[in-house]
Amino acid sequence: MELSKKTTILFSPDLHERLVRLAAQRNTSIGELVRTAVEQQYGLVSRKERLEAVAALSELNLPVGSVEEMEQESVPTPEEILG
């Protein structure tokens, strides 16, 4: 990947220290940590990568019910919430 644009980011001292330690643990730079986080958070991936991800998900053969069944399984009732 060609790196040709520069951005200055200010971190709090605490966050900067945590990033320094994490970068050292992963044997990488703070810049690489930030680039990876931005790509993961904002989905800056190519169309090809997105299509490959969709294809991989479709091959999982996960059980999927109707919208009503899935909602019943995932949305708690008021009684469940109030205990």
Instruction: Report the pLDDT value the prediction gives residue 31, as an integer from 0 to 100.
Output: 95
Number of domains in the chain: 1
Instruction: Give the span between the Cα atoms of 12 and 20, in whole angstroms.
Output: 12
Domain interval for residue 58: 13-82
Task: Retrieve residue 34's tokens.
Answer: 């930030």
Residue 2 belongs to some domain of the structure = no
Residue 48 belongs to some domain of the structure = yes
Residue 6 belongs to some domain of the structure = no
Residue 72 belongs to some domain of the structure = yes
Tokens 């800056």 sit on residue: 44
Residue 64 belongs to some domain of the structure = yes
Coil, strand or helix: which one is 13? helix
Residue 45 belongs to some domain of the structure = yes
Q: What is the pLDDT of residues 2-38, one digit of tens each?
A: 888 999 999 999 999 999 999 999 999 999 999 999 9
Terminal-residue alpha carbon distance, the chain: 53
Instruction: Report the pLDDT value the prediction gives residue 33, as an integer from 0 to 100.
Output: 96
Residue 8 belongs to some domain of the structure = no
Whether pLDDT at 74 is above 90: no
